[in-house]
Amino acid sequence: MNTAEAKNLDHSDVYLSEGAEGVRACIDAAQPAERVSKSNTPEKTKKRKESGFGFEVGESGVFFVDKESDEKTWVCSELRITAQTRNNKSAAWGRLLEWKDADGMAHSWAVPMELLQSDGRELRGELVRQGLLISPSRKARDYLATYIQTWRVRQRARCVEKLGWHGGVYVTSTQCYGESDESVVFQNSHALEPALSVVGTVEQWRDSVGRLAVGNSRLVFSISTAFAGVLLDLSKLDNGGFHLRGDSSTGKSTAIYAACSVWGKPKSYIRQWRATANGLEGVAALHNDGVLMLDEIGQANSKEIGETVYMLSNGQGKTRANKTGAAREPASWRVLFMSSGEISLAGIMAQAGKHAAAGQEIRLVDIEADAGAGMGIFETLHDIATPADFAQVVNDAAATNYGAAGAEWLRCVVADRESVAGIVLDGIKQFTREVVPKGSVGQVERVALRFALVSVAGELATHYGLTGWQQGESEEAAKACFAAWLEGFGTGNREDAALLAQVRAFFEAHGASRFESMTATHEQRVTNRAGFMRTNATGETEYLVLLEAFKAELCKGADHKKAAKTLQAAGWIVGGGDGRPTQKLRLPSMGLTRCYVFTSAMWGGEA
């Protein structure tokens, strides 16, 4: 390549055809190095050309212009700075960048200015990843950061650091749904990337994934859950999750994949339990006002998963210090999450020697994946030979049609936000009235509200023509899944049931080995004694449990005062006439001593 050719070549075209080495050869052939004479500027740069602060921008790219020599250095392909961004507190300033990749696909990024205060490697890496061509020259790369920081732009845009609802506007990583006084953009300072993407049309998704789900309660429920995350703010309900539990090859992952296809490519949208609690904070924040899909709970850290479930449900991460030592605002989110695996939350916590509290079990409710039709999660195969073949068809459909249903769902909900809010609240009340058994504790109703939200979301999506289902399909699926959960959980208080089971297990395990007879001789004394035994007037055995053994062993992990009230209400212990749950009795070698008197009532019925 001779010097004349080099001076008249568009560096962007050279980069496309010959790569970085071609650009270097072109630059070396032109003198002085790294520069192109203004008189020989390619004609393309004269179109839509702008200038300012020593830079010119045209279709050939961004050029730095040396004021003394009037010569140019090519910095990158065409990159427009269209607005200055800042948050509601006039902080977190940034720049809204727009460019096209080699395929002509448009990209935009609200880049925080803080990324420009280091060596710029992270900034350049993200721009290159999304198709911007950047000069291999170190000097030109430095010019890129200068250009972004100094280019004058009057347009303002409001930046948000969380996706989801901001007033009546719903913000995704690439688009803002709804109207606002000014542009609203997502400014992502995290390395994690939202996984929203679109391939195909709503009709194609509806006629493939949506059609195959018909008649399969677990598939319909999972897909409805994907729609439900957007309605969480409108419903005013708490965060929470669902866990599809079942043996390998029952189709659990297929249900999760089908749900993921509402929003993006399943393999990209789905996340893994195999992460630290801190790592899941960032993931949850990126799914704010949406749904988080987590696969394979068996890979989770058994020591941390209980706290992770609390964290996801409570909607807030840890408070940490910034570089100055001041408290940094913790990450927060509203999210529904759905999980799958061969083991329950209680099962995986047991591997670490921990007990799943009722609060954790109602935050991540356990649904039996097997629908009871002898085909795993499936109940109808739509004329496909085997459940395995049907699962493959669903997976293939989800992998080739995704994202369009979620985008259209957002348009519909944003446009009808006020009326949708009323429909959601009314639908939730109706569903819970129908499914919650009389006499159930508040825990059951609390979980029913979450199932109700999923039911309403699926019915609304059907109303908008997104699913291809008949009205009532989502409601029936939610009722079937709620019934499966309730069968395993029961209608009573979970903490009380767990306490009763724990106390009974203590007596079953130890019995006479820890309780000394009231008439025992010196040789019959019991070491490591928890109390005494006696036979009452009806010939039944009663256990007199000493106070410290009651607190430390029988009520381990529970509030002993609350436990005493529960046991007394169940008739397992008989209190004294003074209103206390204990009695003051004369015990061998101890004299008058307070103890808990357990009756034979604890052996009757289920704990």
Q: What is the pLDDT of residues 398-438, one digit of tens each?
A: 999 999 999 999 999 999 999 999 999 999 999 999 999 99
Residues in the chain: 607
Section 335-361 average pLDDT: 89
Distance CA 129, CA 101 (A): 10
pLDDT of residue 431: 98
pLDDT of residue 326: 52
pLDDT of residue 44: 39
Query: Is the confidence at residue 281, as pLDDT, over 80?
Result: yes
pLDDT of residue 35: 35
Distance CA 197, CA 174 (A): 10
Structure tokens at 343: 């083991």
Strands (E) located in 215-306: 240-245, 271-272, 290-295
The backbone region for 215, taken as left when phi is positive above 0, alpha when psi lies in -120 to 50, beta otherwise, is left
Query: Is the confidence at residue 221, as pLDDT, over 60?
Result: yes
Residue with the larger pLDDT of the pair 460 and 70: 460
Which positions ≥6 away from 17 have C-beta within 8 Å? none
Query: Is the confidence at residue 25, as pLDDT, over 80?
Result: no
pLDDT digits (tens, 9 = 90+) for 152-180: 998 999 888 888 999 899 998 878 899 88
Are 125 and 141 spatial neighbours (Cβ–Cβ below 8 Å)?
no
Query: Is the confidence at residue 20, as pLDDT, over 70?
Result: no
Confidence bin at 121 (pLDDT 50/70/90): confident
Query: Is the confidence at residue 99, as pLDDT, over 80?
Result: yes
pLDDT of residue 12: 45
pLDDT digits (tens, 9 = 90+) for 430-450: 999 999 999 888 999 999 999
Which residue, among 276, 252, 429, has the nearest Cα to 338 in the 3D structure? Answer: 252
Q: What is the pTM of this model?
A: 0.74
What rounded mean pLDDT belongs to the chain? 87
Within 10 angstroms of residue 98's Cβ, the number of other Cβ atoms is: 14
Query: Is the confidence at residue 552, as pLDDT, over 60?
Result: yes
pLDDT of residue 10: 47
Confidence bin at 357 (pLDDT 50/70/90): confident
Least confident piece of the model among 159-163, 281-285, 322-326, 577-581:
322-326
Confidence bin at 595 (pLDDT 50/70/90): very high
pLDDT of residue 193: 57
Are 178 and 382 spatial neighbours (Cβ–Cβ below 8 Å)?
no
